[in-house]
Amino acid sequence: MQPTIASYFQKS
Amino acid sequence: MFEARLISATILKKILDAIKDLLNEGTFDCSDSGIQLQAMDNSHVSLVSLTLRSDGFDKFRCDRNISMGMNLGSMAKILKCANNDDTVTIKAQDNADTVTFMFESPNHEKVSDYEMKLMNLDQEHLGIPETDYSCVVRMPSMEFARICRDLAQFSESMLICCTKEGVKFSASGDVGSANVKLAQTSSVDKEEEAVSIEMQEPVTLTFACRYLNAFTKASPLSGQVQLSMSADVPLVVEYRIQDLGHIRYYLAPKIED
């Protein structure tokens, strides 16, 4: 499965 | 008023080549410290982060912070019009809806300018935490590009396994399997040819070849590439741009279904 990068870094 | 000048258009062409396969558009955030761009690729799997320091430019002026949303395909068309040894100046007025690229030949006898419309882009900034990575590998950028290209023939994804003995890249699929092992170099004539590994803990992670291959488009910017890895966090692939800044790509590891 390929997670998105946004699932690792929070929106700032 | 924003104005930034680079002695050679080549560097800007190489920077654009390094991002335009992943991004259709991007916002260049300009301040007196320099130019930054952060954007996710269209599928939101990877993140591109570009930093160009103001002191790396031949001339840099930024009176007020401005964000310039650009279509990178259009920017590529414009940069094609520059010769490699042309000086390039990027100019915009405060609150402008256009940006101008000016190219000057080395003898100043030919001057061309190209105006491009800016775009309003929904920019979603991600906060990237400071991380101490378990493994940091530095290796020749062309070698990394070669490995990514070769292994992509075997599988959609590639395993990167880093121990203190070395780093191993593996892929397996219908054709068979491929393994490339690189040991830390003991001595090299040129620093650019070195492979070095700083390891706190061994790491094994799986990544999509497609994205790694897209990142290697930055190889002309730097002789070396740095891979930073820790378990269960995104890989960082960094290319330093000499005297100017860096480009970093973040890629989420694949997880077993």
Task: For B40-73, write each residue's pLDDT tens digit.
Answer: 998 999 999 999 999 999 999 999 999 999 999 9
Q: Do B127 and A5 touch (CB under 8 A)?
A: no
The ipTM assigned to this model is 0.94
Task: For B11-36, write each residue's pLDDT tens digit.
Answer: 999 999 999 999 999 999 999 999 99
B176 CB near a chain A CB, below 8 Å?
no
- Of the residues A5, A7, A10, A12, the best mutation for testing chain B's interface (the one with the most B CB atoms within 10 Å of its CB) is A5
Q: Do A5 and B128 touch (CB under 8 A)?
A: no
Task: For B141-193, write each residue's pLDDT tens digit.
Answer: 999 999 999 999 999 999 999 998 899 999 999 999 999 999 999 887 888 89
Nearest chain B Cα distance for residue A9, angstroms = 6
Structure tokens given for B149: 């290209």
Residue B181, burial from CB neighbour count under 10 angstroms (0-12, 13-18, 19+): exposed
B127 CB near a chain A CB, below 8 Å?
yes
B93 vs B109: CA distance, rounded Å? 26
Q: Do B45 and A2 touch (CB under 8 A)?
A: yes
Q: Do B129 and A6 touch (CB under 8 A)?
A: no
Percent pLDDT > 70 in chain B is 100
